[in-house]
Structure 1
Amino acid sequence: MLNQLLQKLDEKKEKMIEIRRYLHQHPELSFKEEKTAQYIADFYKDKNVQLRTNVGGYGIVVTIEGGHAGKTIALRADFDGLPINEEADVPFKSKNPGVMHACGHDGHTAYLMILAESLIELKDQLKGNVVILHQPAEETPPGGAAAMIEDGCLEGVDNVFGIHLMSLANTGEVYYRAGEMQAARSYFKVRIQGKGGHGSMPHLSNDSIVAASHFVVATQTIVSRRINPFDMATVTIGSFDGKGSFNIIKDSVELEGDVRTMSSEVRATVEKEFKRILAGLAEEFDITYDLIYSHDYPVLVNDKEMTEIVVNAINKAEIPEVKAVIETPPSSGSEDFAYYLQKVPGSFFYVGAMPSDGPAYPHHHPKFTINEDSLIIAAKTMAAVVVEYFGQK
């Protein structure tokens, strides 16, 4: 079956690229992907599948029933864009000002649509069922995965797999990791309230900027002095809103940022120390504060057995476009695919998509682009995983 599947994918490579380019030209932001969802649903509406739309929002679930009884595998691709004005010099540039596909989700969706179509055409040979999860809103917490799960997208699913295209990784290389692969993420927003006044009389005021500046420095000691050096954590303050008049002591300041950790224990420690520093700041500077501290995406933990299936499948398939299968270190980035892995064992892996000409830009960059050869690689590697999973030679 694998040879038939790979042949079909080769025949549809240009169609895959066309779909990707269409999606790239018409990006939509998280939780607003109405037209994208309709485009995907229209692709499946005349096919011999079970189709559910509006799953947990704009999510789409496609169930391909195999010709033989067996387990059920789920494959997931996300389809939301980002609030970025595209600067990439491509002929299929975004037509929606201020919105672009700067993370490869257009490529994820395109490869999975064509793989799904090919699996549908060979469904009688499948020794089990394949569930296709087209997921919205990966980029913006609380994300689309949790809502789709709550709406039943994993009912009856035994295992789940996903791919992310990586613009800074060599095209032709595939990256895997068993265990903790991507970090958990937390968000915070702090409003520090002091007492405003004139710069000529600081003793009559209570300077929120000075207090907030101490807080910025103190929070960095959480990682350097409260976390085991062999554990991973970051505390980033990405916004410090203290703008005012040059000679006025500002009465309040707002700070926003995020926290990345690779375990629930470290996540709890960072939160505890963060709040302890704030409480001490209030006492030291005689200020008050309002705090929002929330946890969104958890640690992404790949199942060892499912990851072995991925590695064995790709190596055995001898896909011509795949040059190497490499174990990768953990990433401090976050991904809501982690929610699926909390429910059923599975594996999430990377496919290199570095452009063959011109510079490579990181994800979420206005000049982000991918090598479109990565699409066929993603499709073929996931096809190999499906066939290996069902034990078909």
Structure 2
Amino acid sequence: MQLHDSMIKEIEKSKDKIIENRRLIHQYPEVGWTEIKTAALVARELESLGFKVSKGDVVISSKARMGVPNQYILDQHYAETLALGYSEAELQPFKDGFTGVVGEMKFGEGPTIALRFDMDAIGLEESLSTGRGPVDKGFVSQIKGQMHGCGHDGHTAIGLGVAESIAKVRHQLNKGSIKLIFQPAEEGVRGAKSMVEAGVLQGVDYVLACHIMANEPFGKLICGANGFMATAKMDVRFKGKAAHAGATPNEGNHAILAACSAVLNLHAIPRHSAGETRINVGTIVAGTDRNVIPDEARLKIETRGANTAINAYVKDYAYQVIKHAGLMHQVETEIEVVGEAVGGKSDEQLIDIIGSVAKRLNVFDEIVASDDHAGGSEDFTYMMSAVQAQGGKAAFFMVGASPDGTGGIGHHTSNFDFKEDALVESIKLFTGIVLSLL
């Protein structure tokens, strides 16, 4: 079955609703594991469309979650959301950070297609400068220090749009099934693994995701994004012993010396001959006063590698550097992995299908088969790897959405925005791919 003109017109008729959903989500951004309002909205919409909805700890493995906020933050956000008028029954499944939603619709025997849509925002204060869509059209973030600065509000709106378009043609489908996966905590690569470990991808034959790209011109489509770097995000703690810096410095164990030794040597880790590597110490917080031998120092670091094996090399080397920096200065070391993603590569078969559907739609000015230099990391790779390991196919495509046509707006910046027409074109493409595969 293909996406016919009548279906395309139906999607276009829904444009106002699609944009309304995006703007609502944009106004109330929620960072990883706190996406209670967003998850409740998604679950409500999916249920109204006739999807079988699974949510909360049914689709999130507690043991596999990474970088979960402390209980105080989770409880505070839950209470604030409850006070907005949501019912306890509606929010209860998402309490304590279990903010995942999966909608499933079965049509008969045949392949299962999964589509992933991430929901979380980032910790960044949104720009109030005029000339930006959220400011000029009145939907800026209402939450101080948080904003949708990477397009996940758009991704969630796309997912809801795909759900509606599939629901409208469900009686014309007689084989296969579809799973719509709404994932928390993509930022910091923390959420996908927990959904994989919960079994959400079991039995899936095809899995796809997309990303709206404000730094690519509107009308450009990259059918298969490859080159995602495997990564590990780690919080490091050096625990020493405080002492008087003048009277008894020899009685202390200097946590900052250990941390500084680690920082210098982490950045000295030898590069790997088989592919690109990255190491970065992003923060160092330590000490109490100038005349005190500091008893604690904390680092936030990340490693990256061209593939999973190369990242493992950097990560293992980093562990040794940290451990021995602590031993050298007689301080204890603790390392917590708060985010992680593997390498990933889109399947050529799906890349071809995406390109073929896109050409039939005739809505993209430039169609690129693949990009092997993504450079960043994306925890959708866990889902890709899980499906590919069981014999299925996976792909990640990117849709150009520069609001000014130049492709010059960076992600994770306070002035981030995108052209909302890309939402409709993405829904058409996703729907066309699903119908082709079924």
TM value normalised by structure 2: 0.78
1 CA distance for matches of 2:25 and 2:105?
24
Residue in 1 aligned with 2:403?
355
Residue in 2 aligned with 1:37?
39
1:319·1:380 contact (CA, 8 Å) conserved in 2? no
1 CA distance for matches of 2:267 and 2:188?
25
Aligned counterpart in structure 1 of residue 125 of structure 2, from 59, 79, 85: 85
Give the direction of change, closer, same or farther, for the CA distance of 1:210–1:379 in structure 2 (3 Å limit). same
Residue in 2 aligned with 1:334?
377
Residue in 2 aligned with 1:238?
282
Residue in 2 aligned with 1:49?
51
- Flag structure 2 segments of 5+ consecutive residues without an equivalent: 61-97, 130-134, 388-392
Q: Residue 296 of structure 1 aligns to a residue in which SS?
A: strand
Displacement of 1:357: 7.2
Residue in 2 aligned with 1:221?
268
2 CA distance for matches of 1:306 and 1:134?
21
What aligned pairs does 1:212-291 form with structure 2 within 5 A after superposition?
A: 212-222=259-269, 225-228=270-273, 230-246=274-290, 248-282=292-326, 285-291=328-334
Displacement of 1:83: 2.6
Residue in 1 aligned with 2:116?
76
Give the direction of change, closer, same or farther, for the CA distance of 1:118–1:247 in structure 2 (3 Å limit). same
Kindly indicate whether residue 424 of structure 2 is the aligned counterpart of residue 376 of structure 1. yes
Give the direction of change, closer, same or farther, for the CA distance of 1:164–1:211 in structure 2 (3 Å limit). same
1:77·1:134 contact (CA, 8 Å) conserved in 2? yes
Q: Residue 166 of structure 2 aligns to a residue in which SS?
A: helix
Give the direction of change, closer, same or farther, for the CA distance of 1:47–1:269 in structure 2 (3 Å limit). closer
1:190·1:256 contact (CA, 8 Å) conserved in 2? no
Query: Percent same amino acid among aligned pairs?
Result: 29
Residue in 2 aligned with 1:168?
215
| Partner deviation per Cα, 1:350-375 (whole Å, 9 max, x = no partner) | 11121117995422222221111211
| Partner deviation per Cα, 1:70-89 (whole Å, 9 max, x = no partner) | 31111111112223222254
More displaced stretch, 45-54 vs 160-169: 45-54
2 CA distance for matches of 1:155 and 1:373?
34
Q: Residue 186 of structure 2 aligns to a residue in which SS?
A: coil
Residue in 2 aligned with 1:324?
367
Amino acid at match of 2:280: T
What aligned pairs does 1:99-178 form with structure 2 within 5 A after superposition?
A: 99-126=146-173, 127-140=175-188, 142-143=190-191, 145-177=192-224
2 CA distance for matches of 1:106 and 1:381?
18
Aligned counterpart in structure 2 of residue 18 of structure 1, from 6, 13, 20: 20
Give the direction of change, closer, same or farther, for the CA distance of 1:148–1:204 in structure 2 (3 Å limit). closer
2:280·2:302 contact (CA, 8 Å) conserved in 1? yes
What aligned pairs does 1:204-219 form with structure 2 within 5 A after superposition?
A: 207-219=254-266
Aligned counterpart in structure 1 of residue 101 of structure 2, from 29, 37, 60: 60
2:32·2:120 contact (CA, 8 Å) conserved in 1? yes
Q: What is the CA RMSD across the aligned residues, in angstroms?
A: 2.8
TM value normalised by structure 1: 0.86
Displacement of 1:237: 0.5
Give the direction of change, closer, same or farther, for the CA distance of 1:268–1:380 in structure 2 (3 Å limit). same
Give the direction of change, closer, same or farther, for the CA distance of 1:351–1:183 in structure 2 (3 Å limit). farther
Residue in 1 aligned with 2:88?
none
Amino acid at match of 1:264: T
Q: Residue 48 of structure 2 aligns to a residue in which SS?
A: coil
Aligned counterpart in structure 1 of residue 236 of structure 2, from 173, 184, 189: 189
Q: Residue 341 of structure 2 aligns to a residue in which SS?
A: coil
- Flag structure 1 segments of 5+ consecutive residues without an equivalent: none
Displacement of 1:110: 0.8
1 CA distance for matches of 2:22 and 2:163?
15
| Partner deviation per Cα, 1:130-149 (whole Å, 9 max, x = no partner) | 22112222225531x33333
Q: Residue 424 of structure 2 aligns to a residue in which SS?
A: helix
2 CA distance for matches of 1:178 and 1:168?
15
2 CA distance for matches of 1:368 and 1:307?
28
2:226·2:370 contact (CA, 8 Å) conserved in 1? no
More displaced stretch, 92-101 vs 15-24: 92-101
2:287·2:295 contact (CA, 8 Å) conserved in 1? no
Kindly indicate whether residue 335 of structure 2 is the aligned counterpart of residue 292 of structure 1. yes
Displacement of 1:263: 2.0
1 CA distance for matches of 2:162 and 2:416?
25
Give the direction of change, closer, same or farther, for the CA distance of 1:291–1:51 in structure 2 (3 Å limit). closer
Displacement of 1:186: 3.4
Residue in 2 aligned with 1:8?
10
1 CA distance for matches of 2:254 and 2:49?
65
1:302·1:346 contact (CA, 8 Å) conserved in 2? yes
Displacement of 1:171: 1.5
Q: Residue 28 of structure 1 aligns to a residue in which SS?
A: coil
| Partner deviation per Cα, 1:219-265 (whole Å, 9 max, x = no partner) | 1121xx2422x512111111112344345553443222111123232
Give the direction of change, closer, same or farther, for the CA distance of 1:320–1:156 in structure 2 (3 Å limit). same
